[in-house]
Amino acid sequence: MPMISNHLPTAELQALDASHHMHPFTCNAELAQKGARVITRAKGVMLTDSDGHEILDAMAGLWCVNIGYGRDEMAEVAARQMRELPYYNTFFQTTHLPAIALAHKIAELAPGALNNVFFAGSGSEANDTNIRMVRHYWAVKGQPSKSILIGRNNGYHGSSVGSGSLGGMAAMHAQGGLPIPDIHHINEPNWWADGGDMSPEEFGLHRAQELEQAILSLGEDRVAAFIAEPVQGAGGVIVAPETYWPEIQRICDTYDILLIADEVICGFGRTGEWFGSQTVGIRPDIMTIAKGLSSGYAPIGGSVVSDEVASVIAKSEFNHGYTYSGHPVAAAVALENLRILEDERIIEHVRDVAAPYLKDKWAALVDHPLVGEAKIVGLMGSIALTPNKATRAVFAADTGTVGYICRERCFANNLVMRHVGDRMIVAPPLVITPEEIDVMIARARTSLDECHAILKERGLI
């Protein structure tokens, strides 16, 4: 094996990467030709690559590095915990301090009766837990036929067989035999793409009522739960019209359907509150958490469960768990992350400083000839690229062609901004300052201008 270090030239690192490493959500043959960008270190909101570029990470990794990169305290806590107790399980009537303390802290932060935590290693695992838990809940209550979970098209809940089934990503369902039985999907509240002649308010209500129609046609006695992200992340930062969530809550209450809020992105400050459920005004029975729980410093996720559901599950053995449920190092790291979020008032910084500052700059992007709508909640935002704002038209080229060109320009301008189809999305670390937001917006505008020029040149507009 060659000596692999930061001192190797980028091209060599890329070749070594391509020779053995299979990247997720990637055409590896294509990437091997092109070479992956090699990220070597990071601090605050900035990444450094193997060529010494300083890149502003407007995606906080994968929506997770809420406290920003390079916090020494996190490393200290991990090292201390590894020395004291690197691992022990919580299966066989044993527990340990990090799991006790983290469950306690999460119960304190979570709204309402969400006072119980079932730990997992990731968001996908937590949603797999949720599938089994809600079905088991209804079975224990004597209603085993309530086994259908309803999710949304373009929702994202993870990449395992269960969580990938809950999600509504057509490209994922097309591979590997998804979805599993008894999963149903309704349409998402994406007014820009699907609203037609309706006002956003009418459309929000209309899309929420698809849940009611689904329950009525499947049968109330068959539906266990509805799962959704308070703000759809990987689907393109789709912000529901104001009428949507109150109607969803009403429907779940009316038909006795459990509401699962997938807070993997929205949780831990992203929307300017601790949880997205608080921002959109819903009372979930279960929340899925991961990502911002540890700011990505260690892999950990979980299900935060209401007292009612937890008390039913507690009656008998729930035959479910992961080797790394409540992993002591990950739990200690998560606890330190929550301490930093609280002590440094980072959620208040989002609510009072960063989000209001970004909101104006973001909204102003609609001045750009390519930008149709600009949506933002807290520090998660999206812009729709379009050849005609008035008609909300789509490009003649395949969906995603223009988004990809724009993303490539962003990368070339040292800005990580992701594309979902022809929407561009951001979700920077929550610690981003107004000065850094200025840099982010300036780079985004340059990239949009360059993208516009390329589209003209190639006759794509």
The single residue among 264, 313, 354, 377 that binds ligand PLP, judged by CB under 6 A, is 264
Task: Please report whether residue 204 would count as binding ligand PLP according to CB under 6 A.
Answer: no
CB of 270 closer than 8 Å to CB of 429: no
Task: Please report whether residue 262 would count as binding ligand PLP according to CB under 6 A.
Answer: yes
CA 377-383-386 angle, 5° bins:
155
Q: How far is the CB of 452 from ligand PLP (least distance, A)?
A: 30
The single residue among 44, 301, 328, 428 that binds ligand PLP, judged by CB under 6 A, is 301
Q: How far is the CB of 399 from ligand PLP (least distance, A)?
A: 21
Residue type for 263, please?
Answer: E
Half-sphere exposure of 418 (CA within 13 A, CB side): 19
User: Both tokens of residue 139?
Assistant: 């079975």
Q: How far is the CB of 8 from ligand PLP (least distance, A)?
A: 29
Q: Which residues contact 117 (CB under 8 A, 6 or more apart)?
A: 102, 103, 106, 107, 302, 303, 304, 305
Q: How far is the CB of 205 from ligand PLP (least distance, A)?
A: 24
CB of 67 closer than 8 Å to CB of 341: yes
Cα separation, 135 vs 224, whole angstroms:
6
Q: How far is the CB of 432 from ligand PLP (least distance, A)?
A: 19
| Region binding ligand PLP by CB under 6 A among candidate stretches 151-159, 350-358, 419-427, 452-460 | 151-159
Strand 223-228 and strand 258-262: pairing? parallel
Q: How far is the CB of 454 from ligand PLP (least distance, A)?
A: 30
CB of 119 closer than 8 Å to CB of 328: no
Q: Which is nearer to ligand PLP, 229 or 336 (CB)?
A: 229
User: Both tokens of residue 258?
Assistant: 């459990």
List binders of ligand PLP among 213-252 (CB under 6 A). 229, 233-234
List binders of ligand PLP among 111-150 (CB under 6 A). 122-124
Cα separation, 126 vs 157, whole angstroms:
9
Size of the site for ligand PLP (CB under 6 A): 15
53: exposed, middle or buried (C-beta count within 10 Å: 0-12, 13-18, 19+)? middle
Q: Which is nearer to ligand PLP, 172 or 264 (CB)?
A: 264
The single residue among 71, 157, 419, 423 that binds ligand PLP, judged by CB under 6 A, is 157
Q: Which is nearer to ligand PLP, 114 or 455 (CB)?
A: 114
- The residues that bridge with 260 in the sheet, in sequence order, are 227, 286
Q: Which is nearer to ligand PLP, 172 or 455 (CB)?
A: 172
User: Both tokens of residue 86?
Assistant: 């690197």
370: number of Cβ within 10 Å: 23
Q: Which is nearer to ligand PLP, 59 or 252 (CB)?
A: 59
Residue nearest ligand PLP, Cβ-based: 123
CB of 306 closer than 8 Å to CB of 229: no
Task: Please report whether residue 403 would count as binding ligand PLP according to CB under 6 A.
Answer: no
Residues lying near ligand PLP in the complex (CB under 6 A) are found at 122-124, 156-158, 229, 233-234, 262, 264-265, 290-291, 301
